[in-house]
Amino acid sequence: MRRIHPGLLALLVSVAVIGGLSYALIRQTAPKDLSPSSAPIVVHVAEALRGPMEPIAKQYEGERGQKIELRYGPSQTILSQMILSKQGDLFVPADDSYIEDAKKKGVTAEVLPLASMSAVLATRPGFPKAKSWDEVLRPGVKWVIANPEAAAISKVARQSLTKSGHWDKIQELKPTMHGTVNQVAQAVSLGAADVGIIWDAVAQQFPKATLARLPELDGATGQIRVVVTTFSKNPQNALDFAKYLAAADKGQVEFEKHGFRTSAVADTMAERPEILLHAGSMLRPAIEPTLVEFEEREHCRITRVYNGCGILVAQMKAGDRPDLYFACDTQFMKQVQELFEPAAVLSSNQLVIAVPKGNPFEVASLKDLGKTELKLGVGHEQQCALGSLTQATFLKSGLVARLARNIKVQSPTGDLLVNQLRTGALDAVVCYQSNVAPYEKELEAIAIDIQESSCTQPEQPIAVSKTTRHPQLVSRLIQTLQTAESKKRFLDLGFTWKAAP
């Protein structure tokens, strides 16, 4: 029987290894079941949101068996109380300016969008509907407002009305000050005051009041988001309730009933949502630990498909629709960009020549890859970004003909090339710095630098599918891939970090 050529044997072994790894990575273990906690989920929530929050909490308790404890108050007050006591799993203010304050104090772990509402004038029964500010800013008109140092409604209204000069005129009328927007609405509805500023969504609970939308308040909008706090004692259950609040078929329904404008892009609630990720094989070592952590925290399942980007693009053009695509190079994202939202670049990687430790062929540059008897491995030009970039680099250097005679293997992934280099089947390969980093005791890397060419330092973009059923979940995954922990994993593998702060 004829002997099998060592190079062919190494190739077959590598294919088997890569195939096994791919199968193991695609077949994911289901996350642990999410069980109710004996302790309640404590939610610090703005008084303005009482209307939808109570029925949502009751519905959630019935479905999940998890107790929810709602603690109401003005947005600034509940933020201060929460920070002082370091208690509370969720924070839901009436405007996201308070969330920015919470971020600065290190309170926010996760943030999900919920809804929005607008500031309007409310007048008591029998008071003429306001058509201009002159009608409500004349002497003798009794005003009532919420404390702008505590309540979101007046903080937001003050920002808009200060520009137009109307806030100072309101103050000249010495308005009665209340703690919450609901108290303002009640005072106007009962006739204890003539005019107040309230949220349009809150007004639905007080039908006796007459509303007026004046242009000076057009920009006074409260953006409502829910925060999972960093000191939550039960972050997984807290995040589950946050996702329930944000779900199009759960909490969002109740917000709409109460007059709030809900998010145009909202996930549907799923017991264990599933995400399909297509990613270049080069990215696997950098992102895999983050994906495992994300699955555990979000109680979801991520099906990974790692392969050469040329193969992934061909699959997408043939009908595959991943929820998320992380490409090895921008050219492959551009080929399917119509399927995705605008992409964000997270990193770049260096194209290198990898050789065994000691560099037996004394390779110092591309031209040395043409040395007699040197066995060279490169990426497949059509199947992966590595191959496409390598071919472009060879063309740019003018060495295509000289190097082509030494190419013994064309592979769809850099990992496969490095594996054959480690077995001795190849003498040198062109791959990424990140392919070599895990084997620094066995291999050496020589950086390839072609002036005025971006081929040798490709950038890696990531994008959300336009048709995903879980746009918020996928967006949170992208955010998680940009955390300090994830960044360190990229840097440790030799990537350069490119993500915007």
Distance of CA 82 to the CA centre of its chain: 25
183 closest CA partner among 48, 51, 45:
48
What is the rounded distance in angstroms from the CA atom of residue 399 to the CA atom of residue 376?
A: 14
Sign of the dihedral through C-alpha 409, 415, 420, 424:
positive
For the beta carbon of residue 256, count every other beta carbon within 10 angstroms.
15
Residue-range domain boundaries for the chain: 41-113+222-262, 117-220, 272-348+459-497, 351-447
What is the rounded distance in angstroms from the CA atom of residue 130 to the CA atom of residue 214?
A: 8
Give the per-residue pLDDT at 19: 45
What is the rounded distance in angstroms from the CA atom of residue 326 to the CA atom of residue 305?
A: 10
Fold of the CATH domain 41-113+222-262: D-Maltodextrin-Binding Protein; domain 2 (3.40.190)
Report DSSP state, residue 122. E
Joined tokens for residue 55? 């029925």
156-181 burial, b for 16+ CB within 10 Å, e for fewer?
A: bbbbbbeeeebbebbeebebebbebb
**DSSP H stretches of helix in 405-446:** 414-423, 433-436
What is the rounded distance in angstroms from the CA atom of residue 387 to the CA atom of residue 410?
A: 8
Q: What are the tens digits of pLDDT across the range 391-406?
A: 999 988 888 888 999 9
What is the rounded distance in angstroms from the CA atom of residue 59 to the CA atom of residue 475?
A: 27
Residue 14's identity, in one-letter code, is: S
What is the rounded distance in angstroms from the CA atom of residue 280 to the CA atom of residue 292?
A: 17
- For the 117-220 domain, the top CATH level (class) is alpha beta
Give the per-residue pLDDT at 376: 96
Domain 272-348+459-497 CATH assignment equals 3.30.470.20: no
Give the per-residue pLDDT at 454: 62
Residue 65 φ/ψ region, left for φ over 0, alpha for ψ in the -120 to 50 degree band, beta for the rest:
left
186 closest CA partner among 175, 200, 196:
196
Give the per-residue pLDDT at 266: 84
Domains 41-113+222-262 and 117-220 fall in the same CATH topology: yes
What is the rounded distance in angstroms from the CA atom of residue 415 to the CA atom of residue 377?
A: 11
321 closest CA partner among 357, 372, 275:
275
Give the per-residue pLDDT at 451: 62
Q: Are 418 and 333 in contact (CB under 8 A)?
A: no
What is the rounded distance in angstroms from the CA atom of residue 168 to the CA atom of residue 177?
A: 15
Which residue is listed with tokens 């992409």? 343
Q: Are 94 and 197 in contact (CB under 8 A)?
A: no
Q: Are 415 and 379 in contact (CB under 8 A)?
A: no
pLDDT tens-place values along the chain, 501 residues long: 334 444 444 444 344 444 444 433 444 444 456 788 889 999 999 999 999 999 999 999 999 999 999 999 999 999 999 999 999 999 999 999 999 999 999 999 989 999 999 999 999 999 988 899 999 999 999 999 999 999 999 999 999 999 899 999 999 999 999 999 999 999 999 999 999 999 999 998 999 999 999 999 998 999 999 999 999 999 999 999 999 999 999 999 999 999 999 987 888 888 789 999 999 999 999 999 999 999 998 989 999 999 999 999 999 999 999 999 999 999 999 999 999 999 999 999 999 999 999 999 999 999 999 999 999 999 999 999 899 999 999 988 888 888 999 999 999 999 999 999 999 999 999 999 999 999 999 999 999 877 645 678 899 999 999 999 999 999 999 999 999 999 999 999 999 999 987
pTM of the entire predicted model: 0.77
- For the 351-447 domain, the top CATH level (class) is alpha beta
Q: Are 420 and 10 in contact (CB under 8 A)?
A: yes
Give the per-residue pLDDT at 473: 94
Give the per-residue pLDDT at 26: 43
Give the per-residue pLDDT at 33: 61
Joined tokens for residue 341? 């939202």
Cβ within 8 Å of residue 56, ≥6 positions away: 244, 245, 250, 251, 254
Report DSSP state, residue 125. T
**DSSP H stretches of helix in 258-413:** 284-298, 309-317, 330-334, 385-397, 400-404
Cβ within 8 Å of residue 27, ≥6 positions away: none
